[in-house]
Amino acid sequence: MNALVRGLASLLVVYAAALAPANAIVIGEDDRTDVPGEYRRLADGVGLLYNAKASFACTAFCVATDVIATNAHCLLRERGPNGPVKLGDMRFSPFGPVAETDTLHYSLEHVSEDQPRLSVLGGHSRGGAEISQQSGDWALAKLKTAVCRGRELELAGAPYDEIARAAKEKRLFMIGYQGDKMLIEKWLSPCGIRSPGDRKHFLASQRRTISRSGTLLPHTCDMYEGASGSPLIMERDGKYSVVAMNSGGAGFSEYRQTADGSRRRVVASRMTNLAVLASAFAPSLERFRNEKLLRNIGEFEELQTLLKDKGYYRSAIDGLYGPGTRRAIVTREKELGLTPLGMPTRELLLGLRAEKAKLEAVETSAGRLESGPEKTSLRKPVETKVTRPQ
């Protein structure tokens, strides 16, 4: 028996290793095609989000006249291949890369280079490779000009079963830019859907994470680097709407290696692309599109001070937008009955300013009453007995 075990051990051993999301995942046969004429109106709302100085690009799409949606890891990353990423260097164009002389027309509205979260509403702060991070890998950003006017794509929440049925009926597809296609033209990828409980393509830990997220959609739309942020579009009753946003990939590979570990080869690669459901960010759009951003860091520090005065914020007035400030803003928004964005806005600042001014006016008035000439007039008159002469 021991001899048999030793003999088997000297053969090939199979094991699985988890892989982080890849930038380029074409699953099976490459089904990417030119965008057909019937979908050109939809393609007009899809654009290239790029940073020429840092040398990287993603796909983004119009959701309001001056608002785009894309992945958080595209807008909130710290570095690109050629250096640090600055929000002021980001450009969005529905026409692909534009001449440098015309870039101001396609710039993003931003408050601070050091703190991009002051200008961008995102599901989390940076985006990342882990599946759990991909569940919040979405962001909304304002543009300096309304280049999206007439190009807006409609967002619509849809349950998994409906999206899966649309995929089977060839009513689900993705439109975006592809790095291996030179990031010039937009491409269409037909989409299939996989179950979060798929044992063939996901490890047990991955199945649990995807199922618990409630916002991730496993799909098989072919993509390449640059397709991050591409919209997954579903046709329903002759109308088209974005039901998810491409974010990355996940899966695992099966290896075989000798017992001593000297040789190893991949037997099979089980990869699946992932998308964030539109239901994760659609509720925030209506309020975000109407909000005005702060003008500078000074206004943000004033906002922190006002939040602290009201008891919402308990940390230092440091001008840094961190978890403490976000929690304070969310608490304030919930008390006002607003959709919580957790984002510092001028409406929030002006509301707190007005409350402070009102309180100071009341306190000043009360102080005058206590110390001014009116003080005696407010006291209850003292009755005195008057004796009349007989």
What CATH number does the domain located at 13-284 have? 2.40.10.120
Distance (Å, whole) CA 170 – CA 160: 15
177 close to 93: Cβ distance less than 8 angstroms? no
pLDDT for the residue numbered 229: 96
pLDDT for the residue numbered 384: 46
pLDDT for the residue numbered 266: 65
Residue (of 92, 133, 128, 94) closest to 110 by Cα position:
92
Distance (Å, whole) CA 88 – CA 150: 25
- Report residue 176: phi and psi, to 5°: -170, 180
- From first to last of its 390 residues, the chain has per-residue pLDDT tens of 444 333 333 333 333 444 444 456 888 899 999 999 999 999 999 999 999 888 889 999 999 999 999 999 999 988 888 888 899 999 999 998 887 667 778 999 999 988 889 999 998 866 566 787 888 999 999 999 999 999 999 999 999 999 999 999 999 999 999 988 888 889 999 999 999 999 999 999 999 999 999 999 999 999 988 999 999 999 999 999 999 999 988 877 777 777 777 777 766 678 899 999 999 999 999 999 999 999 999 999 999 999 999 999 999 999 999 999 999 999 999 999 998 999 999 999 999 999 999 988 888 887 776 766 554 444 445 554 444 444
Task: Please give the radius of gyration of the chain, using alpha carbons only, rounded to the nearest integer.
Answer: 29
Distance (Å, whole) CA 330 – CA 284: 13
Distance (Å, whole) CA 195 – CA 207: 9
Q: Give CATH 2.40.10.120 domain extents, the chain.
A: 13-284
Residue (of 160, 185, 184, 187) closest to 174 by Cα position:
187
Distance (Å, whole) CA 64 – CA 66: 5
Distance (Å, whole) CA 110 – CA 139: 14
237-to-123, 166, 240 alpha-carbon distances in Å: 30, 11, 8
SS3 332: helix
Phi/psi-derived region of residue 339, left when phi > 0, alpha when psi is between -120 and 50, beta in every other case: beta
pLDDT for the residue numbered 13: 34
47 close to 77: Cβ distance less than 8 angstroms? no
The strands making up 67-70's β-sheet, listed across from edge to edge, are 91-93, 46-51, 56-64, 67-70, 139-142, 120-122
Q: Report the chain's terminal Cα–Cα distance, integer Å.
A: 137
Cβ neighbourhood burial of 239 (10 Å; 0-12, 13-18, 19+): exposed
| pTM for this entry | 0.84
Residue (of 60, 38, 22) closest to 152 by Cα position:
60
Cβ neighbourhood burial of 345 (10 Å; 0-12, 13-18, 19+): buried
